[in-house]
Chains A and B, each alone.
Chain A
Amino acid sequence: MDEIIAYLPLILPILILQLVLAVIGLISLSKAQEVRGPKWMWILIIVLGNMVGSILYFVIGRRDV
């Protein structure tokens, strides 16, 4: 555990970037008028599937790209 805390400054940026990515995904989802499949499914995918989930949403989920 001590080791993890010692390396936290290194790992924190990744966590922050992942969080920002998920938030952008959710904002984009809330603004989108129509997406492929139900919206609640994409919310689950973005929240649970961290980076890959958000990428999937941006690449497959959006209709107007």
Chain B
Amino acid sequence: MRSTWIFYRKEMLEMSRSFKLLWIPIVFAILGIMMPITSLFMPEILEMSGGVPPEMLSLYETPSSAMVMVQVLSQYSTMGVLILVLSCMNSVSGERYGGTAELIMVKPISSFAIIIAKWLAQCTQVFIAFGFGYIASFYYTYQMIGPLSWKSGLASFGLYGLWLILGITIALLFSTVLRGAGAAFVTLAILALLSLLNSLLPTWFSWSPARLTALASEVLVGNLLSVTSVVICCLITIGIIVFSLLSAARLLQKRVLPN
């Protein structure tokens, strides 16, 4: 427990020294604020770009505030996930190739404690970045487009945050066996496959973790179909996270990374 705490503090120090705690939240906030602004000013933007007939411009309706938040979430599922996964792809393999792993592994500290500390640090990162971006875009959407229910906002924040945490957990797992870019590539491929299967065969994959993104949107729009599917998705996702953490700890102990 104590060693986990020490290691967690070391991770957070590293994150702030490499400016990750600053630039990732800022990027999330820009992505989040951009969406309500562009959807409000879409007619003006189209007009300035020219070549759009005025009849089409008059047909444009500003989307509802809930729809804008759904679009913000879909921004996060492309750019946001990409940035988070790329930023933690080196978290275990970097220690190995940077030479600090030898110093740590000779100490009587369990590999599980290391993985948990790294995971908690990444979770903190996700929480700060996604929280900052989400609050910023929520505030903007509320002020510019229309009122939103903060309860459903909070629920969708939780559901979507769980999906992001699943992403970084898988990245952490693969960073124990692959070098940086490889780990990021495999993680993004798995996440893309999950989302693709979920959108192609929604009835078969109603339990899939990728459903979390759809559920987060449904909560925002306010037509959540079944609470049981939320519970099942959350439980399965948490199960996958725990399993990934345990296997990451085992793989770290066995030192399967190539030299």
Contacts and interface: CB of A to CB of B under 8 A. Distances in A.
B33 A21 contact: no
A13 interface: yes
Given A18-B30, A59-B83, A59-B87, A10 B22 contact: no
Contacts of A14: 30, 33-34, 37
A48 interface: no
Interface of B: 18-20, 22-23, 26-27, 29-30, 33-34, 37, 41, 44, 83, 86-87, 90, 94, 98, 140, 144
B30 A51 contact: yes
10 contacts: A10-B140, A14-B30, A17-B26, A17-B30, A21-B26, A21-B30, A24-B22, A25-B23, A55-B83, A65-B90
A10 B38 CA distance: 11
A24 B24 CA distance: 11
A3 B48 CA distance: 13
A35 interface: no
B33 A13 contact: yes
B18 A65 contact: yes
A31 B22 CA distance: 16
Contacts of B87: 58-59, 65
Contact of B44 (A3, A10, A25): A3
A60 to B, nearest CB: 9
B16 to A, nearest CB: 12
Nearest to A51: B30
The 6 A-B pairs of least Cβ separation, nearest first, read: A59-B86, A21-B26, A28-B19, A17-B30, A24-B19, A17-B26
Nearest to A18: B30
* Interface bin, chain A: 20 to 34
A62 B17 CA distance: 13
Contacts of A21: 23, 26-27, 30
Interface in A2-39: 3, 7, 10-11, 13-14, 17-18, 20-21, 24-25, 27-28
A20 B26 CA distance: 8
A10 B19 CA distance: 26
Contacts of B86: 59
B44 A62 contact: no
B256 to A, nearest CB: 22
A21 to B, nearest CB: 5
Given A10-B140, A14-B33, A59-B83, 14 more contacts: A3-B44, A10-B144, A14-B30, A17-B33, A20-B26, A27-B19, A28-B19, A51-B30, A54-B23, A58-B19, A58-B20, A58-B23, A59-B87, A64-B98
A55 B27 contact: yes
Residue from the set A10, A20, A54, A65 with the largest chain B CB neighbour count within 10 Å? A65
Nearest to A60: B86
Contacts of A55: 23, 27, 83
A28 B94 CA distance: 19
Nearest to B31: A51
A5 to B, nearest CB: 14
